Structure 1
C-alpha cells in the first residue's frame, strides 16, 4: 500500500511540474522537464534542438545527442536562457552567431565533443553577462586572440583536456573579474607574462599536465590575488629566484610530477607567506633548502623523490605543520631534532625509505600525532621509549621491515601488544630473524621467545660473571653495569633425559652486585 501511495505522489508531483509550463506548451519530445525552468535532453537519436520550448525555461542541458551543428537560428527562440550545457555530443561546428540571441546567459558549457576542433572569432561577443565558461575535453588546437574580449564579468574559465599548444599574448587581457583559470591537460610548451596580462584578480590558476618546461621570472607579475597555482605534470626543471615573490596571497602550490632536482630558498622571496599547502611529489629532488619562510605551511608533500638526507633545521619555524609526507625517498637516517617543535603535527609518512635506525628522540615533540607510517624500511628494532610520548589514539604502520626478534625487541613487543588495535596490517609485521622465528608475526610471539645468544646479548654484560659451588649450592656472581629487569633461567637434565627448568625474575630493583643462589639437584 505504501509503494502505491508513493507512486501516486510521484505522478502528482510530475504532473504539477508539467503544469507549470505556459498554456498550450508541452515538454519537447525526447526531453524531460523536471521543473518549468529546467529541461534535460539526452537522446542519442536527437539531431537538432527542440523548437517548442517554453519561455519560462532558464536551464537547457543537452547530453549525448547526435546534434552536430549549431546555426544562427538554432537558439533564437530562447533568448531567456541563463544556463546552457552541451556535454558529450557530436558537435562538429558552432556558427559564430549561434549564441547571438542569448544575452542573458550566465553559464555556458561546451565539453566532451571529440570532433569539435575550433571556435570562430565572435562566438561569445554577446555574452557580456557570462560568469562561467567551460570548454573542456574537446579538440581545440588554437585559441584566437580576442575570443574572450567581451566577457568582462567572467569569473571561471576552463579549457582543460584539449590540444592547445600555444596561447596568444594578452589573450586574457580583458578578463578583469576572472577568479579561476584551468588550462590543464593540454600541450602547452611555453607561457609568458603577456599571456596572463590583465588577470590581476585571478585566484586559481591550473595549467597542470602540459609540456611546460620554462617559467620566466616575471610570469606571475600583477597576479597578487592568486590563491591556488597548479603546475603539476609539466616538465619544469628549474625555479628562478623570486618567481613567486608577488604571490603573497598564495595558499596552494602544486608542483607535483615535474623534473625539479633542487631549488633555492629564495624562490618564495618573502618572509611571511600565506602558503598552507606545498606539493612536490614525484620530482627528482636530491636536496632541499630551508623552508623556514613558509610559516603558515600546514601540508608538505615531498614523497617519491630522491632525497637521502635533510638538514636538521629544514623545518625550522614551520610550527603549524600538520601533515608531512617523506615517503618513497632514500633516507637511511634522519637528524635527531628534525621534527623539533612540530607539536601540532598530525601525520608523518616515512614509509618506503631505507631507514635502518630511528633515534629515540625523533618523535618526542609529536604528542598529538594521529598517523605515523614507518613501513617498508630496513628497521630491525626500535629504541626503548620511542613511542612513549604519544598522548592520543594514533594509527601506526610497521610492516615490511626486517624485524630482528631477539631481546632488543622487548620494548617494541610490549608496545605492540598494548596498542595492537592502533597498528594497521599487524599480521604483516613479521620477524626476519632469528631463523626459528622467521616469517612469524610479532604479535604471535611470546616475550620469552625474544632471546639473545652469547655475546650478542648486551642487556647485561656477562663477561664478569663467576661460577662457584659449595656443597649442594651453586653460586652465580655477576656485576651488573646496567640497571635492567633480568630473568635468569637454569636448566638441569635428569637421568631419564627430562629437563627441569628454574626461573628467577628480578624486575623491581637492581644493584651493582647481584648474587643468585640456586640449589643444586
Structure 2
C-alpha cells in the first residue's frame, strides 16, 4: 500500500515538472510570459517568425516593443499557435511595411495597435480577414499615400480608427465606406488641405471627428451631410478663414461640441450656428473683430463659450441674451481692444459660474455689470487697467460665496474710493479666494501677497489692505460715494456737454463766415455797377465834349465860308436885310441863261450852300424852309438846262 502511494506521488511530481518545463519552453527569447494575464511582452526582437513559432498557445495579448524587424511578411505569423490572439501591439519599432495578408491568421483579433513606428506602405490586403477588429491605431507613422480605397474594407466591425500624426494628404473617395459602425475617427496632424464629403461616405454613425492641425483650408459642401450624426468636431489649429453657411452647419443635428480655436476666422454671420444644439463652442485664438446681437441666436443649449484671444473692439449689449439661460462658462480674455463693457452685457446670465475678462484693456466697470451674476463662482479681472472696483462687486463675492477671484496686474488708485476695496481685503474670507500674485507662494494661502497701490506715486507698491484713512487723498462727498459706474456717467455727461458746446460754436462760426462772404459778394457787385456807371458817364462826357468841339469847329468853318462867299458874291451881303428879296433874286437869276452857264450854276450852288450855312448859323429853320427849297430847285434846274443845251 505504501509502495503504491509512493508511486502515485512520484508520478504526480513528474507531471508537474514536465508542465513547468513546457511553460518555460513555451516563452520565446527576449520575451516575458505572464500566464495569469495570458500575455507576452517582447523587446528587441530581431525577427517575428521565430518568436511566433514558440509563443504559448494561451496568449491573448502580444506586446512587442523596440523591434528590429522592418516588415510583416505573409509567413511571419503563419506558424503561430496562439490563433485566438485578441490584442496585438507593436510600437516604437523599425516596422515600415505591412505585407499582403500578413495578419490574416488572427481572425479573432480585436485591437491592433501599430503606433510610433516607421510605417510607409500598407498593402491593399494588409488587414484581410480581420472582421472582428474593433480598434485600429496607425498613428505616429510615415504614411503619406493610401494606395487603395479598399484597405479598410475588411474592417466591418471597427469602431475606432486613429490615423493621426502621419503625412496623409488625401483620403480616396469611399475610403471609409465599409465602416458603418465607426464611432471615432482621428486624422489630426496630417496634411489634408480639403475635407471632402465623398471620403466619409458610409460613416453614418460617426460620433467624434478629430481633424485638428491638418492644414485644412476648405470644407466641401457635402461634408456635413456625410457625418450628420457626429457629436464632436475638432477643427482647431487649421487655416480656416470663414465658416460654412448656417444652412450647411444645420445638417449636424446632433453636434454638441465644436472646436474652432487657432484658425484665421475673421467674421461671424448673424445666426451663424442656427439649427445646432451646441453645448460648447471654442472660437479662441482667431481674428474675430465684431459680433452682433444675433450671432448666437437659436443656441439655447450652449453652456461653454470661449472668445478669448481675438480682436474684439466692442460687444453689443444684447450679445449673450439668446444664451443667457444656459451659459455657465464665458471667456473673453485677451481682447485688449474692448476697453469697456456695456452695463447690460451680462444681463440675464443667471447660470454663469465662470467668467474671464482679463487682459481686455478695461479702465472701469459699471456698477450694474455684475448685478445678474447670481451663480458666479470664478472671475478673472487680472491684467487690465482698473483703478477701482464698483461696490457691488464686493457684495457679489460675499453673497455668492465665490471660490476664485483674480485681480493682479491692475492700476489701483489709492484715494478715498479705495476704502471698500481695503475693507474687502481685510475680510478673513478674502485671502482664501484671492488668486496669489506671488508665484513663490502657494495659491490661496493667507500669507499670499495682497494687491498694491499703483498711484499716486507716494503710495506706489503700498499694500492696499494696510492703508489708513490719514494717508488717502481726501475726496468730496460726491467722489466718496460714487462708484466707477456713476463716475463714468458723470464723465460721459461732461464730455457730452462739451461736444454740444463745440458743435454750437462751430455752427455759429460757419454762419458768421457765410454771412460775411455774402456781404462781400454784395459789395463787390455794387462796386462793379458803380464802376460801370462811372465809365458810362465818362464816355457820355467825352462824347458831349467831342460833339461840342465838333460844333465849334463847324461854326468856325461856316463863318469862314460865309466871309469867303461875301467876297465872291456881293449880293449875299444883302441877305441879312431881306431874305425874301434874296430868294426871289436868286430864283430869277438862276432861270436866265448866259454864256457863263457853268459859273451861274456854280454860283447857284454856292448860294444854296450859303442858305444852308445861314440856317445852321442861327436863323429859324422853319421860316426859311421854303426859301431853301426854292433855291435848291432853281439851282438844279439851271444845271439841268445847261446840260441839255
TM-score normalised by the chain length of structure 2: 0.65
Question: Residues 288 and 103 (structure 1 numbering): CA distance in 2 closer, same or farther, change over 3 Å?
Answer: same
What secondary structure is seen at the aligned counterpart in 2 of 1:243? helix
1:57 corresponds to which of 53, 59, 75: 59
Q: Deviations over 1:171-204 (max 9, x none)?
A: 1111111000110011111111111111111000
Question: Residues 67 and 441 (structure 1 numbering): CA distance in 2 closer, same or farther, change over 3 Å?
Answer: farther
1:92 aligned onto 2:92: no
1:165 aligned onto 2:169: yes
The residue that corresponds to 1:514 in the other structure is none
The residue that corresponds to 2:220 in the other structure is 216
CA distance in 2, matches of 1:119, 1:25: 34
CA distance in 1, matches of 2:181, 2:202: 9
Give the number of equivalent residue pairs. 440
Q: Is the 8 A contact 1:176 1:201 kept in 2?
A: yes
Give the CA deviation at 1:280: 0.9
Q: CA RMSD in A?
A: 2.3
The residue that corresponds to 2:609 in the other structure is none
Give the CA deviation at 1:387: 3.1
2:403 corresponds to which of 377, 394, 401: 394
Greater C-alpha radius of gyration? 2
Question: Residues 410 and 23 (structure 1 numbering): CA distance in 2 closer, same or farther, change over 3 Å?
Answer: closer
What secondary structure is seen at the aligned counterpart in 1 of 2:185? strand
1:239 corresponds to which of 216, 239, 243: 243
Question: Residues 199 and 20 (structure 1 numbering): CA distance in 2 closer, same or farther, change over 3 Å?
Answer: farther
The residue that corresponds to 1:358 in the other structure is 365
Give the CA deviation at 1:410: 1.3
CA distance in 2, matches of 1:312, 1:301: 18
CA distance in 2, matches of 1:150, 1:460: 77
TM-score normalised by the chain length of structure 1: 0.80
CA distance in 1, matches of 2:327, 2:225: 29
Q: Is the 8 A contact 2:378 2:402 kept in 1?
A: no
The residue that corresponds to 1:320 in the other structure is 326
- By relative contact order (CA 8 Å, sep 6+), the higher-ranking structure is 1
Alignment of 1:426-505 (within 5 A): 427=449, 429-452=451-474, 458-459=479-480
Question: Residues 431 and 55 (structure 1 numbering): CA distance in 2 closer, same or farther, change over 3 Å?
Answer: same
Give the CA deviation at 1:237: 0.6
CA distance in 2, matches of 1:45, 1:101: 20
Q: Deviations over 1:277-315 (max 9, x none)?
A: 111111111112421311111111111111121121111
The residue that corresponds to 2:138 in the other structure is 135
The residue that corresponds to 2:582 in the other structure is none
1:189 aligned onto 2:193: yes
Alignment of 1:502-513 (within 5 A): none
The residue that corresponds to 1:297 in the other structure is 302
CA distance in 2, matches of 1:421, 1:386: 17
CA distance in 1, matches of 2:177, 2:71: 30
Q: Deviations over 1:449-482 (max 9, x none)?
A: 33236x7983389xxxxxxxxxxxxxxxxxxxxx
Q: Deviations over 1:336-379 (max 9, x none)?
A: 11112211211101111101111111111222211100000010
CA distance in 2, matches of 1:350, 1:180: 35
The residue that corresponds to 2:266 in the other structure is 261
The residue that corresponds to 2:424 in the other structure is 415
Q: Is the 8 A contact 1:235 1:258 kept in 2?
A: yes
Q: Which structure 2 segments of 5+ residues have no match?
A: 1-15, 438-448, 483-645
1:125 aligned onto 2:128: yes
1:310 aligned onto 2:293: no
CA distance in 1, matches of 2:59, 2:42: 17
CA distance in 1, matches of 2:99, 2:220: 37
Q: Deviations over 1:391-442 (max 9, x none)?
A: 2232101110011011111112211221232111252622110111112232
**Which portions of structure 1, spanning 4 or more consecutive aligned residues, are displaced by more than 6 angstroms?**
19-22
Q: Is the 8 A contact 1:204 1:227 kept in 2?
A: yes
Q: Is the 8 A contact 1:190 1:212 kept in 2?
A: yes
| Greater helix fraction, Structure 1 or Structure 2 | 2
Q: Is the 8 A contact 1:380 1:404 kept in 2?
A: yes
Q: Is the 8 A contact 2:253 2:277 kept in 1?
A: yes
Please say which of residues 176-185 and 61-70 is displaced more in the overlay: 61-70
| Greater strand fraction, Structure 1 or Structure 2 | 1
Give the CA deviation at 1:447: 4.5
1:341 aligned onto 2:348: yes
Please say which of residues 203-212 and 328-337 is displaced more in the overlay: 328-337
Question: Residues 128 and 439 (structure 1 numbering): CA distance in 2 closer, same or farther, change over 3 Å?
Answer: same
Q: Deviations over 1:81-103 (max 9, x none)?
A: 11111111111222122101111
The residue that corresponds to 1:281 in the other structure is 284
What secondary structure is seen at the aligned counterpart in 1 of 2:33? strand
What secondary structure is seen at the aligned counterpart in 1 of 2:106? coil
What secondary structure is seen at the aligned counterpart in 2 of 1:388? helix
Q: Is the 8 A contact 1:310 1:334 kept in 2?
A: yes
CA distance in 2, matches of 1:336, 1:421: 29
CA distance in 2, matches of 1:107, 1:309: 51
Question: Residues 300 and 106 (structure 1 numbering): CA distance in 2 closer, same or farther, change over 3 Å?
Answer: same
Q: Is the 8 A contact 1:243 1:267 kept in 2?
A: no
Give the CA deviation at 1:40: 4.2
Question: Residues 345 and 227 (structure 1 numbering): CA distance in 2 closer, same or farther, change over 3 Å?
Answer: same
